[in-house]
Structure 1
Amino acid sequence: MVRYTKEHKQETRQRIIATAGRRIKRDGIDGSGVATLMKDAGLTNGAFYAHFSSKDDLVDTAIANELETLHMKVVEQAAPGAVGLEQIVRWYLSPGHRDDRDDGCPNAALLDEIARSGDTTRQAYTDGVLVLIDGLAARMTPEDPLASRVKALSLLGLMAGTLQLSRALTDRQLSDDLLEQGLVNALALVDTERRT
């Protein structure tokens, strides 16, 4: 029997989580079986239970990881204050983000399924989304981020809904127009927050 180091096991686990995150954003939670998720990671089904107790355990972990990655790669990398908030909004409501479902935001890809999932999945999502909205709120009102938490959540909802709808449309021009109007609406919300 081959023995692997703890580092190898952790690297393998991270590979499974990352590939599962991309797959479930593309095919949905229900459309992503364990066999497919393990094949994506270059592993056999038998290796699955060395890392996760169930598919739900992997889904919860993958959703949390996707939200953490979004926070680290987009929110944390944006400039502070209103300038950074605008950077985030412009990236989120861009055609490039719309067209990159695999590496894009899990909100627009999975909200409907997460809402129908069990408590642990919904809690993993809630925990991750709170980090995101706190990053947005800190840019809305740096002196008192908690005061803008609900407004930041509303902004995320506006952006995720707009992105989700733009991905569903078959008319490319209509989809582009929707993203553009969503951007105008989101920036107006951001601007309103700046003035209050």
Structure 2
Amino acid sequence: MPYAKDHKLRTRERIMQSATELFCRYGFDRVSIDQIMHLARMTRGAFYAYFESKEALYNESVHATLRRSRVARLAKAPFSIKHLTALVTDYLNLCDLQHANAPGPEAVLFNEIGSEHAEIRQVYEEAYARMRKILETRLTALARLGRLPFAADRDIIAQKARAILASLVGAVAIAKSISQEDEQREILAAAQRQILEMLGVEEDAGAQPGSGAAR
């Protein structure tokens, strides 16, 4: 029986989906082509009919999912404290990190710290720059609207964005590296409080700074 016209496209997408899930969970070095193809329910021999190398697949799987990520949705969301802090609470969540079916490509920031692969470092830098730009855009807009307790100054905004990313990535990286669940949760909770305090918002992640009223 001949294959449907879109068989090759659907097969390629299966490989991409499997790769994205594994790469985002475990990082480039801890994922093999065999594991990717096993998850896709295909043989290793079929891999090279669709991708030149694991590096090429990694690069494509990260970039192909940028539009579907939580940070991409943040870029299109209304300008509110709630939408901004949702990014923090989404990422600082062990259940999400361990069990999500479609982790976002920003997970590269958690998994590829210090990678020695030139291609992976480039993807890492692109992911970092992308997240920082979106955060800066959000912070600037909210500061101009008077919803944050600091000025919409370029240097201040840049430093806030860097600090948020450093706290977020560092906390998740540490939490993923230890086995004690109670300590994992304490690390993530402490980082969340630190980030919200940095933004000057209430711990319910939805209040205007200093007001306690939900926005």
TM-score normalised to the size of structure 1?
0.78
Residues 1:190 and 2:199 aligned together: yes
| Match of residue 7 from structure 2 | 8
Inter-partner Cα distance in structure 1 for 2:116 and 2:60:
14
Which structure has more helix as a fraction of its residues? 1
Q: Are residues 124 and 146 of structure 1, via their aligned partners in 2, closer, same or farther at CA, if it must alter by over 3 Å? A: farther
| Match of residue 87 from structure 2 | 88
Letter aligned with residue 188 of structure 1: E
The runs of 5 or more residues in structure 1 that have no matched partner are: none
Contact 2:28 2:112 survives alignment (8 Å): no
| Match of residue 133 from structure 1 | 132
- The CA deviation at 1:104 is 3.6
SS of 1:126's equivalent? helix
Letter aligned with residue 174 of structure 1: E
Aligned length: 191
Residues 1-196 of structure 1: matches in 2 within 5 Å? 5=5, 7-71=6-70, 75-76=74-75, 78-100=77-99, 103-105=102-104, 106-107=107-108, 109-112=110-113, 115-142=114-141, 148-149=157-158, 151-191=160-200
Q: Are residues 14 and 145 of structure 1, via their aligned partners in 2, closer, same or farther at CA, if it must alter by over 3 Å? A: farther
1:46-76 deviations in Å (ceiling 9; x for gaps): 2212221111111222233455432467534
The runs of 5 or more residues in structure 2 that have no matched partner are: 145-151, 202-207, 210-215
Contact 2:172 2:188 survives alignment (8 Å): yes
- The CA deviation at 1:185 is 0.5
Which range is displaced more, 29-38 or 99-108?
A: 99-108
Q: Are residues 71 and 173 of structure 1, via their aligned partners in 2, closer, same or farther at CA, if it must alter by over 3 Å? A: closer
SS of 2:24's equivalent? helix
Q: Are residues 34 and 98 of structure 1, via their aligned partners in 2, closer, same or farther at CA, if it must alter by over 3 Å? A: closer
Inter-partner Cα distance in structure 1 for 2:170 and 2:135:
17
SS of 2:200's equivalent? helix
Letter aligned with residue 26 of structure 1: R
Inter-partner Cα distance in structure 1 for 2:167 and 2:102:
20
Letter aligned with residue 111 of structure 1: E
Inter-partner Cα distance in structure 2 for 1:22 and 1:77:
24
Contact 1:81 1:138 survives alignment (8 Å): no
1:107-132 deviations in Å (ceiling 9; x for gaps): 454123xx324222222232233332
Inter-partner Cα distance in structure 2 for 1:11 and 1:127:
28
Q: Are residues 117 and 52 of structure 1, via their aligned partners in 2, closer, same or farther at CA, if it must alter by over 3 Å? A: farther
- The CA deviation at 1:176 is 1.5
Q: Are residues 132 and 4 of structure 1, via their aligned partners in 2, closer, same or farther at CA, if it must alter by over 3 Å? A: farther
Inter-partner Cα distance in structure 2 for 1:108 and 1:100:
18
